[in-house]
A and B are shown apart, each in its own frame.
Chain A
């Protein structure tokens, strides 16, 4: 499997990464190199092997359902570019 230049540009767009044509071309090369590696690995017979979801063989720790955080809005908003009536202001988004 290899990626077309078109697909590379689309992935960049989805990730909101601006790429020039030259950068896209370089990236295409890098990504296809990775795919070649994956293809090599796919030659290994993994039937009967359970897919690995995490590198460590431990399970998720759980916390009790309790409120442990206090209101620190003032501190968090002190570093925000723009706030008003307790809200973070961002460039207008319309669906």
Chain B
């Protein structure tokens, strides 16, 4: 596969977080009885006219500002014409020549650890449009059932440039975009309910070739896993086709998660003649500079700004700062834990912040990942405040790292058993348990010294080995002392004392 280069562009439909539809006053709440939220406008009854929802436009402005794009002061709605029973008007109101958002880019973190790298994906545009209804193909005496509750739900279609070169980059892009739309509060990101769905345009070309290969579009991928599986399958399929001497035909395909394959839905010839023209029912959308400024004032810190702040204020690496910014909640959690970890009057310094960062990345994120990604919202089993207090006791040397990890795991398990209805543990509980279970670390030098003496006396063989140059024997002795202290001795102190005694 070395001589082939993969080219991927992604179109995403993000359902905007409004309470009413884009052109009517019907509710957008999910899960209502069929057709109870389909008004005359959504049903396309004769004589109705669309009136644009201000909040939907505001969401588009927010998005434009968040990706550093140009928010068009003038944009135009167009009719995209096609026939399907879940589209009663016979056209979808969308935007074509003059979209509301033009340009912009998103910075992604791809891969993990040493192999991680940053990548900038450019965006072509984002435009406002309405969703269609739903067709239910279960058998209604040989007919299809139509539910128009979703018809007219506001969508922001976000189109990327074909900048991605692997399925991993495509997934990283989708994840970053998903985090961003939730971060700025324009979309709930619920993929199970279809609030965030991706279409991937995939093509391959020989490495070094300037022009793109013929692309096929994989429609409606509603999970990150499917996105990756579908692209991987499609890429391999296209390479096989070309290597066997066939040409790729431009087409729209569907991904079947059951067997992991993509299959053709329609060839492009017929389907893509949408005969767009400006919708005479809607006037041009004018967005004033004042409105854009107002929206900007109202927005909180953006992912990349916060990432840079974590690097400069807390001395975190770019990679760690990215991990702590994979979504809005994680970063807030981290900052909450840092504040709670500080002793009274202590200022935020890189040291406690780095300490908290390691804990959030290695313990909290690890636990959350175990629960499986793609949860609509990740759940924190332990509150930031409780974690902060735990870290504070750890930094003060009241408890050791092992005890801290055990308490943390215990609290988390408590929340998990409770299906994350509430956090496990609470700040005061840490001191209570330290007291009642006698978890306090032994840091009294005298007490540790006597344990060290006991162990040295009881293990002459190890002592002799160490003196003969075997470094491993030293670790065995440390282990013995820790065991004698029931794990509560400060390991650094044990190390120092042992070394002192053996070498002195």
Contact = CB atoms under 8 A, between A and B. Distances in A.
A60 interface: yes
Nearest to B275: A14
Contacts of B146: 87-90
A54 interface: yes
A67 B19 contact: yes
B19 A53 contact: no
Contacts of A95: 254, 265-266
A71 B37 contact: yes
B217 to A, nearest CB: 14
A53 B57 contact: no
B53 A65 contact: yes
A54 B278 contact: yes
Interface string B30-52: 00011111111001010000011
Given A54-B280, A65-B53, A93 B36 contact: no
Contacts of A16: 83
Interface stretch (B103-111, B132-140, B223-231, B375-383): B132-140
A87 B284 contact: no
A88 B145 contact: yes
Nearest to A62: B54
A67 to B, nearest CB: 5
B298 interface: no
Contacts, number: 126
A23 B146 CA distance: 34
B26 interface: yes
B464 interface: no
Interface in A4-42: 14-16
A68 B43 CA distance: 16
A93 B34 CA distance: 18
A91 B76 CA distance: 34
B84 interface: yes
Contacts of A76: 35, 38, 40, 43, 45
A93 B273 contact: no
B52 A62 contact: yes
Interface residues of B, number: 53
Question: How extensive is the interface on chain A, given as a class?
Answer: 35 or more
Interface string B8-40: 000000000011100011110000011111111
B54 A73 contact: no
B88 to A, nearest CB: 9
A73 B147 CA distance: 11
A30 B278 CA distance: 23
A16 B91 CA distance: 13
A18 B19 CA distance: 41
A48 interface: no
Interface string A40-76: 0000000000000110101111111111110111001
B20 A65 contact: yes
A87 B136 contact: yes
A86 to B, nearest CB: 4
B416 interface: no
B356 interface: no
Contacts of B137: 92-94
Contacts of A59: 283-286
Contact of B18 (A65, A73, A94): A65
A58 B285 CA distance: 9
Contact of B34 (A61, A64, A87): A87
Interface string B44-87: 01000001111111000000000000000000100001011100
A15 B275 CA distance: 10
B418 interface: no
B284 A53 contact: yes
Contacts of B37: 69, 71
Given A87-B34, A88-B148, A89-B143, A65 B284 contact: no
Given A86-B34, A88-B85, A89-B143, 13 more contacts: A60-B52, A60-B282, A62-B54, A65-B19, A65-B20, A72-B40, A73-B38, A76-B35, A76-B40, A82-B143, A87-B136, A87-B145, A89-B144
15 contacts: A59-B285, A60-B283, A62-B52, A63-B25, A64-B55, A67-B25, A69-B20, A69-B24, A69-B39, A71-B36, A76-B35, A76-B43, A87-B147, A88-B146, A95-B266
